[in-house]
């Protein structure tokens, strides 16, 4: 998991700060959905937040993998390419 998103207590979990921000989005989603006459139950909203968390983790994991691969390839090119 990305160091920015990882919990300082347990690096395998999402940071409490990020979870707090996502939970803070709940009232906004409720206001917007209420203004659009869409009724959402708390269970649906929790599932939505969980889905967002999974998407954020997946995206950051993919970015981390790309950055790692790029750094590894660049290291090989720079080490063996300059002879």
Once rounded to an integer, what is the mean pLDDT over residues 31-54? 77
pTM: 0.51
Q: Is the pLDDT of residue 12 over 80?
A: no
> What does the alpha-carbon distance between residue 29 and residue 22 come to, in Å, rounded to a whole number?
11
| Residues 6 or more apart whose Cβ sits within 8 Å of residue 39 | 33
For 35-45, how does the pLDDT look when each residue is reduced to its tens digit (9 = 90+)?
777 777 777 77
What DSSP string runs through 5-57?
TB-SS-TTSB-HHHHHHHHHHHHHHHHHHHHTT----HHHHHHHHHHHHHHHH
Q: Is the pLDDT of residue 75 over 70?
A: yes
Residues facing residue 14 across a β-bridge: 6
What is the predicted pLDDT for the residue at 4? 64
């Amino acid at each position: 998991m990305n160091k920015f998103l990882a919990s300082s207590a347990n690096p395998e979990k999402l940071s409490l700060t990020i979870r707090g921000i996502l939970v803070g989005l709940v009232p906004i989603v409720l206001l917007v959905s209420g203004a659009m006459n869409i009724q959402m139950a708390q269970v649906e909203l929790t599932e939505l937040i969980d889905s967002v968390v999974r998407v954020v983790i997946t995206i950051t994991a993919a970015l981390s993998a790309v950055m790692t691969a790029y750094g590894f390839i660049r290291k090989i090119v720079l080490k063996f390419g300059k002879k």
